[in-house]
Amino acid sequence: MNNSTKPNTTLRIDLNTIDYYKSKYDTNHAGCVIAVESFPFLREEALSSLDVKFTKHEWEFIEKAAHGKKMSVEDLTSRRRWEAELGDYYDKISSAITDGKEELTEKFKTIVLLIRGLSPMHRFVIREYLAGKSQEKLDIITK
């Protein structure tokens, strides 16, 4: 599809994002077009190359930590925020148990290490799924 046949759309984005595009591209519009049109390809590549595998118990921990949380764009993209969310959930459940605390601590450490090994785009597609923003089925749980 050439530029003359592309439909128009309107986006509402914050001023920091507009300033970013203005500083990196000829125009704000040019930056937005590149970002919007390239995103599906980046996302699909991330999904097809996502090879991390969580155990069923690790994934349950991750899902429960994210349950009901409304995620901002920063939440979807920040590894540190994700780790903090997992840490908050770990603190909450570990303070309520006496047996199995060592096992829970090891599970938490393993999850954090797995997350640290993910690329930013891989983290994004997982967080996007956890936030309920994607209906994509993720094949990241071991049997």
Tell me if 70 sits within 8 A of 111, measured CB to CB. no
Percentage of residues in the chain having pLDDT higher than 90: 50
Q: How confident is the model at residue 10 (pLDDT cuts 50, 70, 90)?
A: confident
Poorest-pLDDT segment among 19-23, 39-43, 68-72: 68-72
Q: Extract the tokens encoding 19.
A: 């300033």
- Dihedral of alpha carbons 32, 33, 38, 40, sign: positive
Q: How far is CA 103 from the centre of its chain?
A: 26
